[in-house]
Amino acid sequence: MAIAAVVVLPIGLLFLLSGLIINFLQAIFFVLIRPCSKNVYRKINAHLAELLWLEIIWLFDWWAHIKVNLYVDSEILELMGKEHALVICNHKSDIDWLIGWVLAQRSGCLGSTLSLIKKSLKCLPVIGWSMWFTEYIFLERSWSKDENTLKAGFENLTDFPMPFWLAVFVEGTRFTQAKLIAAQEYAIAMKLPVPRHLLIPRTKGFIAAVNHLRSFVPAIYNCTVAIPKDEPLPTILRMFRGRSSTVHVHIKRHSISELPETDSGIKEWCRDRFVEKDASLELHKSENSFAGTECHDIGRPKKSLLVVIVWSWLLIYGVIKFFEWCSFSWGTIAFCALFLLFVVILMQTLIMFSQSEKSKPLRSQTLDYKEDTLNQKLIP
């Protein structure tokens, strides 16, 4: 992991230095503009955040050459980026969040893309600070503490001046084989459909989101991420190393007004969608595509490449001027060495935060499922 961070040291320097500039500008506008007009601040901040997020999208598009095939009807594609939407998705890989950013960038709403994320990310330099300025909703994963946070966060979005996407990973954690076995055990005990490719959705946050957002958010985008059988699973570490892959994303649009009014009804609706999603992934496994839906190549726009080139020239110019201004001494050398060490540590921390959570290794013969139970037919 440390080796990967050293390999991308120039990228880390670019991201850290440009990110600190963005954070500084965000702080200035937060103090000076937001008290006068929250929506003017939001519009300015959306452009600032986009300048930062585009650097990470450059890694995805131009450094690692990861390709996204988007399976969606043309009518839905036309709406994407033009309306508020609650986005739910399976949590397949380390970079699902980045795939969402890529789709948002193609749809023109990257700067107004939000998510429910871990509170610890708020303290992460550059990326966590920028998320805070962009009004991401930070959670502690404790319902007694998060209930009021969610309510306040959702109510804060009622007057949002631009189309936004709010992403919710309903499974609550990233997919691993160990977690899948635990989910299958739980499903059998609770007499639920046994998942093959997903975890059981945790619905409290989703229910709260629907109840608070249904008055001003018209749609739910139900996204399913799948990896073709002949492609490696994309991870943040592979992306930093410049290794390519292909991702398939299927999107269905549901009108939020069609969802049930009761909490139990919303919970059942969400679970039904994940049963359908699991069946869709099973079909994808055999056909290596989401058959029956239009496939769109979302391309690789040059905007992120241009942003990285401009930032690189500005920062190279700044570094040259810095060394012209300061005299070479042991103090200067020590400062530069410590700064580079800080960049390496920051990049390693970013990788660690983005990687899949570790699961304890399973003991052999931990679970003794009956074959006919594990092979039960899921609801299509």
Q: How far apart are the C-alpha atoms of 278 and 225, rounded to whole Å? A: 11
SS3 call for 231: coil
Residue pLDDT, tens place only, 195-206: 999 999 999 999
Residue pLDDT, tens place only, 69-99: 999 999 999 999 999 999 999 988 888 999 9
Residue 380 — pLDDT band, cuts 50, 70, 90?
A: very low
Q: How far apart are the C-alpha atoms of 122 and 138, rounded to whole Å? A: 7
Q: What is the pLDDT of residue 331?
A: 67
Report the mean per-residue pLDDT for the chain: 86
Instruction: Tell me how many degrees the CA angle 349-352-358 measures, rounded to the nearest 5.
Output: 155
Percent with pLDDT over 90 in the chain: 64
Sign of CA dihedral 87, 89, 95, 100: negative
2-303: in CATH 3.40.50:
no
Do the Cβ atoms of 235 and 352 come closer than 8 Å? no
Q: What is the pLDDT of residue 34?
A: 96
Sign of CA dihedral 15, 20, 21, 26: positive
Report whether pLDDT(33) > 80. yes
